[in-house]
Amino acid sequence: MEKQDIQSMLPQEIEAVLLDVGEKPFRAKQIFQWLNRGVTDFNEMTNLSHVLREQLKERFHLTAPQLLEKQVSTDGTIKYLWAMADGEAVETVVMAYHHGNTVCISAQVGCRMGCGFCASAIGGLKRNLAPSELLAQVLFSQMESGRPISNIVLMGIGEPLDNLESVLRFLELVNHPDGMHIGMRHITISTCGLPEAIDKLASYHLQLTLSVSLHAPDDETRDRLMPANRGMGIDRLMAACRRYQDETGRRVSFEYAMIHGVNDTVQQAEHLARRMLDVGGHVNLIPLNTVAERDLGSSTKDAIKKFEQILRRRGVNVTLRRQLGGDIDASCGQLRRKQERARERRGYHDQLRTDGQGHCAKRQSGLLPD
Ligand code: SAH
């Protein structure tokens, strides 16, 4: 029998397994609580009998992400590169705000959305993350940093709505009163804007914040920047946002990365203002983070200020995103890319050294155990 992922399970599901082996159902809550304290060895679950611990070991595996790299910014932002059980790496960032610590987690290993300005898209999608791997990023970043996490944003690597099933389960896990118990109102999901998935999410009536990465008010520019827009169009996306707001009663917010000479003209500001007034949305302007592989730069300070003023004058709710972690590899996907580039370089040299025995290169790159 293949071992199951107990760290992705809710107490009622653990309970069903316990009943199956003739155990008392209330043990499920104890096990769930241990898991949500980051225990990764059944032997540490000291209030369970030895027999039960052995039965659990037979049925389930327990894993903890391994810390590959940690960068600490002078402003206190911490960026982690965590390796999952199969060696795939994802980034997690802990940021300190006046309202508490926010963790930014990755939804997938890589991404298949192909946005032209984003480091995460390079190399495409490797795989989805399991609910337990989403939870582990929150839990282990909290434990490693010693900072209690009060807010979560799904704004790291990957597209959360392209891994909706795992994300929905993760929300149940992290929101559970016997788990980390983080309220839905403290959770934000960022999406490149997939209308069908937005409709599906709306049907759950969750009180979280949905943030749509818009980055352009016109299809010509958005098609160019974000392949997910092609053949779909902004009108359809906006209609889905409106339905989402009607269904959930929660305002959608919009992200707009300011890219020099691409989406920062006066006309685009006016166009964006019309779109925002139409949907009643709030806009976050973000200076583009330069990515080594991308030939795009941030708009100038003056252009951003002008853009912001136009929106404000038109009555749009707009904020300029405070940049944290500017001195570390802050933009999502950058740290993982750096590690992959290092891997590629090491792999190449190892390959030379081992005279074509490629399998050694992989092991020597540090991602596979000796
Ligand atoms: N796939 C989701 C979440 C991950 S990206 C989404 O598209 O929203 C998180 C946010 O960072 C998105 O708004 C994305 O467009 C933005 N982003 C990606 N690369 C960036 C860069 N180089 N500079 C500024 N923002 C960037």
State the residue for tokens 């919009």.
Answer: 254
What pairing do the DSSP bridges indicate for beta strands 108-110 and 100-104?
A: unpaired
Q: How far apart are CA 32 and CA 92, in angstroms?
A: 23
- Distance, in Å, from the CA atom of 314 to the CA atom of 79, rounded to the nearest integer, reads 37
Query: At 293, is the pLDDT very low, low, confident or very high (cuts 50, 70, 90)?
Result: confident
CA–centroid distance, residue 157 to ligand 1 (Å): 8
Marked catalytic residue, from 91, 133, 308, 340: 91
* Mean pLDDT, rounded, of the chain: 89
Choose one of 102, 154, 213 to mutate for the ligand 1 pocket test, by most ligand atoms within 8 angstroms of C-beta: 213
Higher pLDDT residue, 286 or 353? Answer: 286
Whether the per-residue pLDDT at 339 is higher than 80: the answer is no
Q: Does the annotation mark 192 as catalytic?
A: no
Cα(108)–Cα(77) distance, rounded to whole angstroms?
Answer: 22
pLDDT band at 109 (very low <50, low <70, confident <90, very high): very high
Residue 246 class from Cβ within 10 Å (0-12 exposed, 13-18 middle, 19+ buried)?
exposed
**Per-residue pLDDT at 344:** 63
Q: Where are the alpha helices (DSSP H) in 280-333?
A: 301-313
Could you tell me the pLDDT band of residue 353, with boundaries at 50, 70 and 90? very low
Query: 21 or 10: which carries more pLDDT confidence?
Result: 10
- Start-to-end CA distance of the chain, whole Å, equals 27
Q: Provide the pLDDT for residue 287.
A: 94
DSSP-derived letter for residue 104 is E
Reported as a pLDDT band with limits 50, 70 and 90, residue 294 is: confident
User: Which among 121, 188, 123 is positioned nearest to 151, based on CA atoms?
Assistant: 188
233-278 per-position pLDDT tens digit: 999 999 999 999 999 999 999 999 999 999 999 999 999 999 999 9
Percentages (nearest 5) of helix, strand, coil residues in the chain: 45, 20, 40
